[in-house]
């Protein structure tokens, strides 16, 4: 399976279990790896035969900016399902970063990574 990756998609969302997170929002960062077969697109040099990663990026940002959820696990699942709606995408790995998570000790990042497929 071939891979198309998008790294570092940034969007402001209002996800979290604490009222402050819901009210003020924070930046979330999303990394995606889309699994698909790119041979037909490459052979014909045809965008219609692969996934349009610009559109996928816009859809992912819309999910992050959309309806708030408590858990980044839920957010990752919603992003995965949006990606799998594209015909050529057979599998997706989603990593959601929450670098401003409300943790009381020094840290660099919090992430949840999931892999989903059509099968």
Known catalytic residues? 98
CA–chain centroid gap for 90, Å, is 15
Instruction: Give helix 72-84 / helix 53-65 axis angle, nearest 10°.
Output: 150
Please choose, from the candidates 97, 90, 33, the residue with its C-alpha nearest in 3D space to the C-alpha of residue 64: 97
Longest CA–CA separation in the chain, Å: 53
16 DSSP assignment: S
């Amino acid at each position: 399976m071939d891979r198309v990756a998008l790294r570092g998609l940034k969007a402001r969302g209002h996800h979290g279990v604490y009222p402050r997170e819901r009210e003020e929002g924070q930046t979330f960062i999303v990394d995606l790896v889309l699994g698909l077969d790119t041979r037909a697109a490459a052979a014909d040099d045809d965008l219609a035969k692969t996934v349009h990663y610009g559109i996928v990026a816009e859809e992912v940002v819309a999910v992050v900016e959309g309806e708030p959820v408590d858990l980044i696990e839920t957010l990752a699942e919603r992003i995965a399902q949006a990606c799998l709606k594209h015909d050529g995408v057979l599998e997706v790995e989603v990593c959601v970063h929450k670098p401003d998570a409300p943790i009381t000790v020094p840290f660099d990042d919090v992430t949840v990574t999931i892999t989903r497929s059509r099968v």
